[in-house]
């Protein structure tokens, strides 16, 4: 284990009851034995005057990930609250954060970080929480990240492009504004809306929650938080290990879910945006591989666009 403050030292500065956390940290992990301690350290270095909880979902890891989490849980039982699966839930189509972490979150705010990424600023939670407390018109806050490889070597200084290192309007959030997931904090109402409207077809849960945030307010880019670390490695989901055809299908599934959600919300402008995206993504998928699913979806979306005279 890493040499960190003990549980009593972390909680000594807290105001309020420990069993009523202000922030819930949601972390999903699977076979991250080489990385999970970095994530846990990023959580445990946080200096706050409010209680927070660390919700970890270990999806039946087959390496030492479970063992490492148990070691930390033994030293931080009031902070670290794990779920240890015996059967892999992701392979069964479960939406891990939505179905296992969001529903048990007690915080007014929810912060995200997967087990192979990590935070580098001990004031991250405090800065983000304080901003949301004082700016009700915003539903989500975020910052930048560096990009590292499996060995921890920096490969890119900024994960976000210059165009995305800025505040976002409600419409920009709804229409897939790029935000680095491990940099996010949202109001609990956003994750509640997410798990109450989860769709079996959904693949990109992080994309879904950022879009839903636009229904609750604007997005704030906070530049004075030290960038977190986004890790690219061979075990990462959709991080360079999937062929282009499968990536297109996954994005297509998520956009279909977003179209359905905003259509039911009677948001014509945004649902139309996603309908166009579905058509374009379907065509791209057909170019890479003549996929029957993508071809049928593409034809159906083009038909809807034609019927509504919005091509």
**Same domain membership, residue 248 and residue 122:** no
Sheet holding 80-84, edge to edge: 80-84, 52-58, 23-29, 109-112, 185-187, 138-142, 218-221
pLDDT at site 310: 45
- Give domain status of residue 238, yes or no: no
**Same domain membership, residue 178 and residue 270:** no
- Collapsed DSSP state (helix, strand, coil) of residue 199: coil
d(CA 293, CA 142): 35
**Same domain membership, residue 262 and residue 223:** no
Listed in order, strand segments (DSSP E) in 96-248 are: 109-112, 138-142, 145-148, 154-156, 185-187, 218-221, 228-231
pLDDT at site 235: 63
pLDDT at site 247: 67
**Same domain membership, residue 249 and residue 201:** no
Both tokens of residue 283? Answer: 């065509």
- Give domain status of residue 204, yes or no: yes
DSSP β-bridge partners for residue 141: 185, 220
- Give domain status of residue 237, yes or no: no
- Give domain status of residue 208, yes or no: yes
- Please state, rounded to an integer, the average pLDDT across all residues of the chain: 88
**Same domain membership, residue 206 and residue 147:** yes
Write down which residue in 168, 198, 231 finishes a domain: 231
Short-list 126, 125, 165, CA closest to 144: 165
pLDDT at site 297: 55
Report the CATH number at residue 133: 3.90.550.10
Write down which residue in 197, 231, 265 finishes a domain: 231
Write down which residue in 164, 196, 231 finishes a domain: 231
d(CA 49, CA 37): 24
**Same domain membership, residue 167 and residue 289:** no
Are 160 and 144 in contact by the 8 Å Cβ rule? The answer is yes
- Give domain status of residue 239, yes or no: no
Mean pLDDT of 281-288: 60
- Give domain status of residue 2, yes or no: no
DSSP β-bridge partners for residue 138: 218
**Same domain membership, residue 145 and residue 25:** yes
**Same domain membership, residue 225 and residue 100:** yes
Short-list 270, 102, 89, CA closest to 193: 102
- Give domain status of residue 236, yes or no: no
**Same domain membership, residue 251 and residue 220:** no
**Same domain membership, residue 171 and residue 105:** yes
pLDDT in tens, 205-224: 788 999 999 999 999 999 99
Which of 8-12, 238-242, 247-251, 274-278 has maximum average pLDDT? 8-12
**Same domain membership, residue 38 and residue 117:** yes
pLDDT at site 311: 40
Which is it for strands 145-148 and 228-231: parallel, antiparallel or unpaired? Answer: parallel
- Give domain status of residue 168, yes or no: yes
Q: Considering the entire predicted model, what is its pTM?
A: 0.89
Are 114 and 226 in contact by the 8 Å Cβ rule? The answer is no
Both tokens of residue 43? Answer: 């959580």
pLDDT in tens, 140-187: 999 999 999 988 899 999 999 999 999 999 999 999 899 999 999 999
Which three-class secondary structure string do you get for 69-126? Answer: HHHHHHHCCCCEEEEECCCCCHHHCCCHHHHHHHHHCCCCEEEECCCCCECCCCCHHH
Are 234 and 150 in contact by the 8 Å Cβ rule? The answer is yes
**Same domain membership, residue 157 and residue 288:** no
- Collapsed DSSP state (helix, strand, coil) of residue 311: coil
Structural domain of residue 132, as residue ranges? 7-231
Are 226 and 128 in contact by the 8 Å Cβ rule? The answer is no
Q: What is the torsional sign of CA 211, 183, 54, 50?
A: negative
Q: How many domains are there within the chain?
A: 2
- Collapsed DSSP state (helix, strand, coil) of residue 209: helix
């Amino acid at each position: 284990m890493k040499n960190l403050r003990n549980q009593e030292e972390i909680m000594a500065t807290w105001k309020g009851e420990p069993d009523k956390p202000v922030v819930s940290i949601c972390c999903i992990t699977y076979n991250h034995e080489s990385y999970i301690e970095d994530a846990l350290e990023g959580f445990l270095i946080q200096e706050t005057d409010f209680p927070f909880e660390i919700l970890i979902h270990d999806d039946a890891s087959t390496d030492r990930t479970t063992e490492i989490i148990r070691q930390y849980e033994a030293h931080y039982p009031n902070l670290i609250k794990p779920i240890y699966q015996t059967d892999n839930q992701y392979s069964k189509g479960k939406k891990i954060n939505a179905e296992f972490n969001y529903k048990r979150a007690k915080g007014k705010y929810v912060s995200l970080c997967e087990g192979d990424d990590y935070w580098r600023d001990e004031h991250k939670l405090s800065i983000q929480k304080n901003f949301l407390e004082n700016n009700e018109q915003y539903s989500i806050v975020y910052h930048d990240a560096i990009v590292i490889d499996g060995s921890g070597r920096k490969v890119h200084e900024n994960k976000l492009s210059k165009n995305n290192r800025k505040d976002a309007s409600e419409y920009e959030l709804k229409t897939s504004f790029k935000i680095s997931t491990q940099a996010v904090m949202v109001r609990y109402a956003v994750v509640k809306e997410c798990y109450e409207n989860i769709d079996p077809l959904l693949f990109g849960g992080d994309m879904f929650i950022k879009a839903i945030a636009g229904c609750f307010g604007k997005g704030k880019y906070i530049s004075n938080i030290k960038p977190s670390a986004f890790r690219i490695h061979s075990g990462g989901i959709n991080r360079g290990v999937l062929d282009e055809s499968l990536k297109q299908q996954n994005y297509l599934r998520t956009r279909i879910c977003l179209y359905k959600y905003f259509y039911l919300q009677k948001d014509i402008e945004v649902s139309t945006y996603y309908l166009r995206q579905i058509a374009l993504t379907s065509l791209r998928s057909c170019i890479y591989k003549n996929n029957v699913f993508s071809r049928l979806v593409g034809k159906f979306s083009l038909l809807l666009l034609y019927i509504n005279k919005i091509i």
